[in-house]
Amino acid sequence: MIQTETTPNPDSLKFLSENIISAAGNEEFHKDKISQISNQFVKELLNFSGVELILLSKNFISVKKTKEASWEELKPMVISHLNDYFQKNDEPILTNKSLDNNNINKDKDETVNKIIEVLDTKIRPAVAKDGGDIKFKSFENGIVRVELQGSCSGCPSSLMTLKQGVQNLLKHYVKEVNSVEAV
C-alpha cells in the first residue's frame, strides 16, 4: 500500500511504502542527468511527463514535478509504478551504495565529524519528514556548505529552513560554524 504526504514544497509529494525502497541510503536523481542513470525503475519514473527529480529513501520516494504538471495526473501514475515494481520484485529499488560524500569526509577532522554528526542525528531526520535530504559538502573558514535534496530542492521555504533551522542548530552544537550555505 502506497500512501502520500504533502511537503512544504507544493511541487513535491512524498510517496511512502511499507516496502524498503532504498537499501543504499538516500539517493537523488535528476531528469536532466537521465542518460547517466542505469536503474530501470528510476529511468521510467523520470520519463513521466512533468517529473523533474526524485529522491529515494529507505521507505519513501519524493517526487518533484514541474510547475506545469498536475498532481491529479502524476500521483496515480507514480503510485501505479511503485505498486507494479513491488508486485514483480522482492528487493528494494536501490540495493548498492553509491559513493557518498559523507564517507569521504568522515576522517578529515574533529570539526567536520561534529558537523556531520549533527546533520545526521538532528537535522536529516527532520528534513526527511518533509520528503527531503541534506548532504554535507564542505567546511571552510567557518562556512558549512550543504546540498538540499528531494522536496527541499527549490522549495520556497528552504532558505528559511537553512538559515533559521540548520544554521542555528549547527552554530549551537559546533562553535566553529559561522554560517551555512546551500550549493
Superfamily of domain 2-88: Scaffold protein Nfu/NifU, N-terminal domain (3.30.1370.70)
Report CA-CA distances (Å) from 5 to 42, 44, 63, 100, 134: 20, 22, 11, 27, 19
Distance between CA 98 and CA 60 in Å, rounded? 18
pLDDT of residue 25: 87
Q: Does the CA dihedral 14-79-56-51 come out positive or negative?
A: negative
* Helix (H) / strand (E) containing 93: none
pLDDT of residue 98: 44
Which residues in the chain land under pLDDT 70?
97-108
pLDDT of residue 101: 43
- The helix/strand/coil state of 66 is coil
Contact criterion met (CB below 8 Å) for 151 and 14? yes
- In sequence order, what are the residues at sequence separation of 6 or more whose Cβ sits closer than 8 angstroms to the Cβ of residue 73? 50
Contact criterion met (CB below 8 Å) for 128 and 56? no
Domain ranges of the chain: 2-88, 101-182
What CATH number matches the domain at 101-182, 3.30.300.130, 3.40.50.12280, 3.40.50.2000, 1.10.230.10?
Answer: 3.30.300.130
